[in-house]
Structure 1
């Protein structure tokens, strides 16, 4: 139940056989994001549990979920971009129903992230689900 943008990533990953190419893809996706306004990088938007500095800024308009984010690490910025493609544009109810672990497994990310990065990714997913669940 991922967004169409996420399905595009899945299709792209099917053509990228080498993990290093996939890794570059994720980093480039992070670089392509609009920078998060520095005024939004505050304790209220900071995600605890990440080895890097991570901020997520969710916005819900008319029941539709969107978020922006930033990190001080290139790969984590890329993971934020992937999560944005997974969740942005879904209704808050749909966000709560997404099995992120299953969807991300389609990309093979879990096999190539360090334990710290995996923990940070789980913390970001938890934050997204908490915000969406509070808005349902």
Structure 2
């Protein structure tokens, strides 16, 4: 549930095409420095949540930085709003959202964050705490999708 008076149908939408193309740029970048720069830029492109959304019950536990995640289901599609106080985490969130936004419960349940980050060339580049936070976010996305059908 969102704390805002804005209708959920206006909050939870398909991501802009720029985010998808930015993830493609990360995949095509040759060096870790280029990938990191693209992740940071991607974090700037993800819309910030207003303070009313930065509530304790929306915080993802397991992240070193603060991260908030909201879920909404429309028909069999799942949509998320997310933010972080750290730009790198915000960029990583955007990468996760590109892979899961608007997907079905089945598609999200089959999503493997490790395989996805391997394909993007990011595995092994993130600190253990960032990797743990990333996994916590991916698991929260999967949990929200699964709980909405049970």
Fold shared by both chains (TM-score > 0.5): yes
The gaps in structure 2 that reach 5 residues or longer are 1-16
Q: CA 1:37–1:110 in 2, change beyond 3 Å: closer, same or farther?
A: same
**Structure 1 residue corresponding to 2:49, chosen from 33, 36, 46:** 36
Contact 1:30 1:75 in 2 (8 A): yes
Q: What is the aligned partner in structure 2 of residue 113 from structure 1?
A: 126
- Structure 1 residues without counterparts, runs of 5 or longer: none
Tell me whether 103-112 or 80-89 shows the greater mean CA deviation. 103-112
Summarize deviations over 1:32-61 as a string: whole Å, max 9, x none. Answer: 011113211111110111110111111111
Task: Tell me what 1:81 maps to.
Answer: 94
Q: Secondary structure at the match of 2:123?
A: helix
Q: Equivalent residue for 1:94?
A: 107
Q: Which residue is equivalent to 2:145?
A: 132
CA positional deviation for 1:123: 0.5
CA drift at 1:69: 0.9
What is the TM-score normalised by the length of structure 2? 0.81
- 1:10 and 1:35, CA in 2 relative to 1: closer, same or farther beyond 3 A? closer
Per-residue displacement from partner, 1:66-87 (whole Å, max 9, x unpaired)? 1111111110000011011010
Say how many residue pairs are matched.
133
Q: Which has the higher contact order (CA 8 A, sep 6+)?
A: 1
